[in-house]
Amino acid sequence: MTRPAEDPRDDMLNALFSQAKDQVMAPSPEFLGRLLEEAYAAQPVVAPQPHPHPHVARAEPRLRHWLRRLAPPAGLATAGLAGFWLGFAQPAALMAPVVSLGDAVAGTGEVLEMVDLIPSLDGWLSEG
Amino acid sequence: MPLDDLSDLPEEALLARYAAGDRMAARVLVLRLSPRLLSYVYRLLRDRAEAEDVVQEALLRLWRMAPAWRPGEARVTTWLYRVATNLVTDRQRARQRRRVAALEDAPEPADSAPGAVAQLIEADRMAALEAALACLPERQRQAVILRHLEGLSNPEIATILEIGVEAVESLTARGKRALAAALAGQRAELGYEDEEALP
């Protein structure tokens, strides 16, 4: 099977395409300058990481070390103080936050009705 | 990072660096993308100042898009060609409206006009090709330029023109036939008869 003869017009057209393909328009320096200016202006600004003062930078590891050592005793001391206050405080002082909560929720000065979530087991244990 | 190290990176990677604040990436992208884009837009508009405006606008949209660019979804060049093509279409429609307003009774130019091409007696080969391209309908011209002058594949052109691959094939085939017909009468004038006569 023979290939059909190619149209000579196609040869001319392909030659023109090939010639035109190589011709890339060079942007002028002014135009490139404008494009770059716009590219910089539209570029997102990524904030650089702030560098600490040299004295602070030197002291930072020691500070972190001491904070790490102080954390457990500080937690223990806080827990101890809270336990001490709960043990010795008067009931009225303990009820004050509950009354305040009643004010906030119901708008009255009354104490919120409390539900005993762990009822006594005495009723179940009575013999009969 | 030095310019040489960036010049081998693909556009997508450069755009990510641009979004991260790398000024050198901006420079490489401008130097790499603008000549091709300018040539393409100029071929469509045949007006350098207008072509520069379109390229500037298309690149500005790319810079704004950069932080939200999702890698792997589209190629930067394909995306840019699409934006530029749409901007060119808008300008050509605006031009057409102005022309219609100015010459209400003037006849519309024919889609393929060998006569118009023949008027370019002193034109060289590129000018003749440009003039013949200018006679093609808008979509045919865009498809032929993207396929035969920009060297893009049919699927890429389909993405840019937002049509199917078969429609691209049809547009380029019809465009090429129309160009061949428009330039047929200029064979000798453009020096192709002489070349064939050579041994």
The C-alpha of B30 sits at a distance from chain A's nearest C-alpha, in angstroms, of 7
pLDDT bin (cut points 50, 70, 90) of residue B182 is: confident
pLDDT value, residue B35: 94
Per-residue pLDDT tens over the stretch A20-55:
888 888 899 999 999 999 999 999 887 666 666 667
Find the range with the poorest average confidence among A24-38, B12-26, B185-199. B185-199
Q: Do A13 and B35 touch (CB under 8 A)?
A: no
* Residue A36 forms part of a structural domain: no
Length of chain B (residues) = 199
CB neighbour burial string for B26-39, b if at least 16 within 10 angstroms, e if fewer: bbbbbebbbbbbbb
Report d(CA A90, CA A45) in Å as an integer.
Answer: 59
d(CA A65, CA A59): 10
Query: What is the reported pLDDT for B172?
Result: 95
**Residues in chain B closer than 8 A to A37 (CB atoms):** none
Query: Bigger pLDDT: B56 or B181?
Result: B56
**Looking at the domain assignment, is residue A101 inside a domain?**
yes
Q: How confident is the model at residue B189 (pLDDT cuts 50, 70, 90)?
A: confident
CA A22 to chain centre: 52
Average pLDDT over chain B reads: 84
Considering the four listed CATH numbers 3.40.50.970, 3.50.50.60, 3.40.50.2300, 1.10.1740.10, the one that applies to the domain covering B1-108 is 1.10.1740.10
pLDDT at B167 over 50: yes
Domain span at residue A104? 54-111
pLDDT of residue B80: 95
Cα separation, A37 vs B114, whole angstroms: 44
Nearest to A32 among B30, B179, B180 (CB): B30
What ipTM was estimated for this complex? 0.76
Q: What are phi and psi of B187, to 5 degrees?
A: -55, -55
The token duo for A64 is: 């972190």
Mutating which of A10, A11, A12 best tests the B interface, going by the most B Cβ atoms within 10 A?
Answer: A12
- Average pLDDT value for residue range B155-161: 94
CB–CB contact B149 A31 (8 Å): no
Find, in chain B, the residue whose alpha carbon is nearest to that of A10: B180
Please report, for chain B, the start and end positions of each structural domain, with discontinuous segments joined by +: 1-108, 110-199
Residue A123 pLDDT exceeds 80:
no
Residue A32: its chain B contacts at CB < 8 A? 30-31, 34
Q: What is the pLDDT of residue B104?
A: 58
Q: Give residue-wise pLDDT tens across range A60-80.
A: 777 777 877 887 788 888 888
**Which pLDDT score, from 0 to 100, does residue B199 have?**
45
> Whole-angstrom Cα distance, residue B170 to residue B89?
20
Among B21, B36, B179, the residue with its CB nearest the CB of A13 is B179
Report percent pLDDT > 90 for chain B.
59
Indicate the pLDDT class of residue B102, thresholds 50, 70 and 90. low
Question: Percentage of chain A surpassing pLDDT 70?
Answer: 51
Which pLDDT score is estimated for A128? Answer: 53
CB of B146 closer than 8 Å to CB of B169: no
Measure CA B78 to chain center.
12
Would A41 be classed as within a structural domain? no
pLDDT of residue B54: 96
Query: pLDDT-based confidence at B145, cuts 50/70/90?
Result: very high
How many Cβ pairs closer than 8 A exist between chain A and B? 99
Q: Is the pLDDT reported for residue A56 higher than 90?
A: no
For residue B64, give how far its alpha carbon lies from the nearest alpha carbon of chain A (Å).
7
Does residue A92 fall inside a structural domain?
Answer: yes
Nearest residue on chain B to A18, alpha-carbon basis: B149
B119 vs B82: which has the higher pLDDT: B82
Q: Please report the pLDDT score of residue A19 as a whole number.
A: 85
Q: Nearest by CB to B180, from A10, A38, A45: name it.
A: A10
The answer to whether the Cβ–Cβ distance between A35 and B18 falls below 8 Å is no
Distance CA B146, CA B167 (A): 14
What is the tally of structural domains in chain A? 1
Domain assignment present for residue A17? The answer is: no
Query: Of A118 and B89, which is predicted with more confidence?
Result: B89
Within a domain: residue A78? yes
- pLDDT score for B76: 94
Beta carbons of B21 and A45 less than 8 angstroms apart:
yes
Q: Shortest Cα distance from A49 to chain B (angstroms)?
A: 14
Closest residue of chain B to A14, computed from CA coordinates: B148
> Residues with Cβ < 8 Å from B37, sequence gap 6 or more?
B55, B58, B59, B80, B81, B84
Which class for B162: exposed (0-12), middle (13-18), buried (19 or more C-beta within 10 A)? exposed
Which chain A positions have a beta carbon within 8 Å of B56's beta carbon? 34-35, 38
Check whether domain B110-199 has CATH 1.10.10.10, yes or no = yes
Q: How far is B8 from chain A (nearest CA, A)?
A: 20
